[in-house]
Amino acid sequence: MDYLRRAKEISCRARTNIIKVVYRAKGGHVGGSLSVVDILSAIYSVVDEYDVEVILSKGHCLLAWLCVLKEIGEVSEEDLQEYYSDGSKFAGHPKKGSSKSITWGTGSLGHGLAVCCGKAMARPKTSYFCILGDGECNEGSVWESLMFMAQHQLKNITVIIDNNRLESLDLTCNILNIENLEQRLNGLKLNTVRIDGHDMNLAIDLFRRRLVIEDKMQPLVIVADTLKGKGVSYMEGVPMWHHRKLNEAEFRMALKELKEEVRQ
């Protein structure tokens, strides 16, 4: 199966949908959604036949998740259209049970990995993917959970840090610097790899190895270097696009850029 092609298709459509939905709904965290969407696309291009649970600990990027779930047929076009409107199924953060894949409610940062550890202990045969943000790693509770995961060698957990290096107001390194992440994680005796978080080929390879091959002797942390706002030039690396509405001109410019990217 051509996983990469599948992932690229998911990610292209999801990226465009993120822009469309944020423009229409006037809500949603656009910057982080664009940084994490390739990671989610890579995950969902390979997990089909496996027992997998995803926990989006950086829950504010729910929109990226929904747009990817739409591509695999789990979330309907109507539900995405209604995103953020009164009485709709989905809005700012994941609600437990709101979709088949959304098994845990997040939103407050620093919670997802602890819950994931509990789940992974209870169900050692299930593979867990837990997605954190780099800003989220400011939370002490994240490090409590990383220590716990290392201590108990919860080998069925793959942590992915969407390392877009930007928080809400500034660069992470100007707030509470977490680099160099590998050394910190290695210091916790955690097996760590750093990848380009937009290189889906690499991500797919890693995820497939975690699911298929016996490369699950220990927990793994993937530091995925990403770009906040990836795909829309005026958003890339600009803090204000953490959570901002688009005006019409911005919307048209973003769509144009994304279309060109598809062509290329």
Stretch that binds other proteins, among 5-13, 75-83, 139-147, 186-194 (CB under 8 A): 139-147
d(CA 196, CA 224): 6
Per-residue contact track with other proteins, 94 to 133, x per CB under 8 A?
--x------xxxxxx-xx-xxxxxxxxxxx----------
Instruction: Give min distance, CB of 46 to other proteins, in A.
Output: 23
Per-residue contact track with other proteins, 161 to 200, x per CB under 8 A?
----------------------------------------
First to last CA, the chain: 23
Q: Where are the beta strands (DSSP E) in the chain?
A: 52-56, 127-133, 157-163, 191-196, 220-225
Are 186 and 218 in contact, with CB atoms under 8 Å apart? no
* Bridge partners for 55 per DSSP: 130
In sequence order, the 6+-apart residues with CB closer than 8 A to the CB of 213 are none
Instruction: Give min distance, CB of 127 to other proteins, in A.
Output: 14
Under the criterion CB under 8 A, does residue 138 sit at the interface with other proteins?
Answer: no
Q: Which is nearer to other proteins, 31 or 112 (CB)?
A: 112
Are 19 and 28 in contact, with CB atoms under 8 Å apart? no
Q: Which residues bind other proteins (CB under 8 A)?
A: 96, 103-108, 110-111, 113-123, 140-141, 144-145, 147-148, 151-152
